Chain A
Amino acid sequence: EPEVTQTPSHQVTQMGQEVILRCVPISNHLYFYWYRQILGQKVEFLVSFYNNEISEKSEIFDDQFSVERPDGSNFTLKIRSTKLEDSAMYFCASSDGRGQSEQYFGPGTRLTVT
């Protein structure tokens, strides 16, 4: 069964450093998403991406964040200058449509900022 994959599973970085989290969505999906979940808290929407551009973003997704689909398979989230409060699990998701289409979540990348 096709699945969303994410690398790395765990990333440790120092405050102020740039990190890139990588995702490979399901191959025939067209809609891509990033979410984050701070330990013990709720899942929070960051951004949605369709047709090579951001279609929606939340207040969390400020200028420190960017997304890119550099080729036909990868979908990346970059945090330019990490802060302690960016420590969280970051989930990538993809779907083949909008509306009732199920979003398939990847296993997540745990980001620890020290």
Chain B
Amino acid sequence: GQNIDQPTEMTATEGAIVQINCTYQTSGFNGLFWYQQHAGEAPTFLSYNVLDGLEEKGRFSSFLSRSKGYSYLLLKELQMKDSASYLCAVRDLGNRDDKIIFGKGTRLHILP
């Protein structure tokens, strides 16, 4: 089966660092995405990891360990606009093509 787990909610302070964890079990694995979703809006792409290790992109970094079925998204120098849901999504191998399986998302609250 397929299962993606991430915390439901987190709170952090403006200017601080926060790490959002994601664990997954899928029948096939072909990469992991992180998306940001503000309330009432569409998801927007943040990062993609297919190999183990850390990918850094400005204030956001994403880490993957395939052997542990684990990823995290690291947000530095938090800003109020970072208040949003962060969605972990796995590219799962299907019969002919891949499916993107989303987790339930982590709602991040930023306090001033």
Q: Which residues of A contact B (CB under 8 A)?
A: 33, 35, 41-45, 48, 50, 55-56, 58, 91, 98-100, 102-108
Residue of A nearest to B99 (CB): A45
B87 at the A/B interface (Cβ < 8 Å)? yes
| A56→B45 contact, CB < 8 A | no
Which bucket holds chain B's interface residue count?
20 to 34
| B52–chain A nearest beta-carbon distance, Å | 15
Q: B105 to A42, Cβ gap below 8 A?
A: yes
Residues of B at the A interface (CB closer than 8 Å) are 30-31, 37, 41-45, 48, 50, 87, 89, 94-105
Chain A residues with CB under 8 Å of B89's CB are 43
**Do A105 and B44 touch (CB < 8 A)?**
yes
CB-defined contacts of A44 to chain B, threshold 8 Å: 102
Chain A neighbourhood of B96, CB < 8 A: 55-56
Query: 22 interchain pairs (CB within 8 A)?
Result: A42-B87, A42-B102, A42-B103, A42-B104, A44-B102, A45-B99, A45-B100, A45-B101, A48-B97, A55-B97, A56-B94, A56-B95, A56-B99, A91-B43, A99-B31, A100-B31, A100-B48, A102-B45, A102-B48, A105-B44, A108-B41, A108-B42
